[in-house]
Amino acid sequence: MAIQRNQGYPVLIIGAGRGGSALLEMFMEDNLVRVVGIADTDPNAHGIRLAKNLGIPTYSDAADALQACKNYPDCIVYNLSHDDSIADKTSKVFGDKRVASGLEVKLFWQMVTNLKQIKVELEKSQNQLQAIIHNAMDGIITINEAGEILGFNPAAEQIFGYKQQDILGKNVNILMPEPTRGEHDGYIERYINTGEAKIIGVGGREVVAVRKNGEQFPMEVSISEMVLGGMKYFVGIVRDITERKQAEQKIAHLAHYDYLTDLPNRAMFLNTLEHALLLARRNHYKVAVLFLDLDGFKQVNDTLGHDAGDSLLQGVAKRLKEIIRASDTVARVGGDEFTFVLNSVESGESVALVAGKIIASLSEPFDLNGPQCHVGASIGISIFPDDSGDIGTLVKQADEAMYLAKQSGKNTYKFYAGMVRAQGNT
């Protein structure tokens, strides 16, 4: 008789029907059991065919099977047939009654069947869980108490640039920039010892992470804790939010900057002016507000079209940014209206010098991808704190001075203070 190679407790199965076949399948998956034979009067029984495929001895007569297995004194006989004489035959061969049969076998078979069903369901659930993790859009990272990475799904591979086989076993702080990287292990240890949590259990926390190539990027992370076999594990759901942050920045930019020229808009200009006046009061210096209106812009729009007008405004914005200092601000607050904040000005003469440069620069022709055009600039100027300490008043004063410049022949500048003096002299 062929002896099985695997080591285990010897077992003989009598009856190779559904129950015997299921018992055989279960025993073949357990190294603690060694099936030394199976018997059934039906040579086509499922258990007989399975045993032959597995190289297990088969018998058509239970008595022959018992005689063949007498060399295994510790053999246990499972009687899944309806032959009640098997117990007596077993006693004659082995000297004692080492056989399970009747209701005992039926109960055992039912237990085996239930266990196999549970195993199938567990495997199905595990496969479903693995499929979900594998195909999840978000990265899923599992670590132990030491911070070592135990799980790293394909989405995490794509986010961070590491392959699973290269990252498993490494400390999760490899995915963090300094100083977070150096603080992470201490944080886990403190949480385990004290239960004090800053990130664990908090959903949608935004942090900065590091890809394999060293690139830092914004990431949203939710971390939860689980306990298996008395050991703590931490599962992180991570999402690269670079595109979302870029969209948020774009929306914020559009809310504060002119879409055509990319200069600050009216709201941003007023915020900048408010901040400039706060610093000026604290540090006791002057701030100039300039209000500029283009001369001849309407004619360009009417004769060359709105596309040419847009190109002209972009060209004007470029020249204005080149003239002012980095500490100053130019904004587009209307169709062809621009405003300036000149910080820490020394005198009216220094402001006049800037205004003169602006007018001279805009007097140069603009090339609109073919046709050239000429425009001018009328500028009104108010000074803080000489003319007013109020934001709205300063802007209004500069606007009024600008209209005086237009009435004075255009392509020039006027100070609000000089305008008031002139009106007082009339």
Query: How far is it, in rounded angstroms, from Cα 95 to Cα 105?
Result: 21
pLDDT confidence of residue 385: 94
Residue tagged 């703590």 (tokens) = 232
Q: From the first residue on, what is the mean pLDDT of each consecutive set of 10 residues in the chain (426 residues)?
A: 58 86 81 88 92 92 88 82 79 70 63 70 71 72 89 90 93 89 75 67 81 94 83 88 92 92 95 96 95 93 88 95 95 95 93 96 88 91 94 96 92 84 59
Query: How far is it, in rounded angstroms, from Cα 291 to Cα 304?
Result: 26
Q: What is the CA radius of gyration of the chain?
A: 44
The total number of residues written for the chain in this structure:
426
Strand partners, 76: 11
- Residue type for 203, please? G
DSSP tag of 200: B
Question: Most distant CA pair in the chain: distance in Å?
Answer: 141
Burial of 302 (0-12, 13-18, 19+ CB in 10 A): exposed
C-alpha angle 58-61-63 in degrees, rounded to nearest 5: 110
pLDDT (tens digit, 9 = 90+) per residue, 222-262? 888 888 878 888 888 889 999 999 999 999 898 999 999 99
Closest CA to 10 of 38, 37, 36, 31: 36
Distance (Å) of CA 370 to CA 172, 303, 307, 315:
59, 14, 13, 14
Two structure tokens written together for 65: 């099977």
Neighbours of 33 (CB within 10 A): 19
pLDDT (tens digit, 9 = 90+) per residue, 362-373? 999 998 877 788
pLDDT confidence of residue 240: 93
Neighbours of 149 (CB within 10 A): 21
pLDDT (tens digit, 9 = 90+) per residue, 56-111? 999 999 889 888 888 887 888 888 787 777 877 887 777 765 666 656 666 666 76
pLDDT confidence of residue 108: 61
C-alpha angle 310-392-422 in degrees, rounded to nearest 5: 95
C-alpha angle 343-346-347 in degrees, rounded to nearest 5: 115
pLDDT confidence of residue 4: 42
Two structure tokens written together for 239: 């999402």
Closest CA to 236 of 133, 125, 164: 133
| Domains defined for the chain, CATH in brackets | 9-114 (3.40.50.720), 137-244 (3.30.450.20), 257-425 (3.30.70.270)
Query: Over the chain, what is the mean pLDDT?
Result: 86
Query: How far is it, in rounded angstroms, from Cα 347 to Cα 343?
Result: 11
pLDDT confidence of residue 225: 84
Closest CA to 287 of 326, 320, 257, 327: 327
How close are the terminal C-alpha atoms of the chain, in Å? 132
pLDDT confidence of residue 273: 97
pLDDT confidence of residue 1: 38
Query: How far is it, in rounded angstroms, from Cα 411 to Cα 302?
Result: 20
CA contacts within 13 A on the Cβ side of 102: 6
CB 83 within 8 A of CB 62: yes
Query: How far is it, in rounded angstroms, from Cα 251 to Cα 406?
Result: 37
C-alpha angle 181-186-191 in degrees, rounded to nearest 5: 120
Beta-strand runs (E) in 337-375: 337-345, 366-367, 372-373
* pTM summary value: 0.59
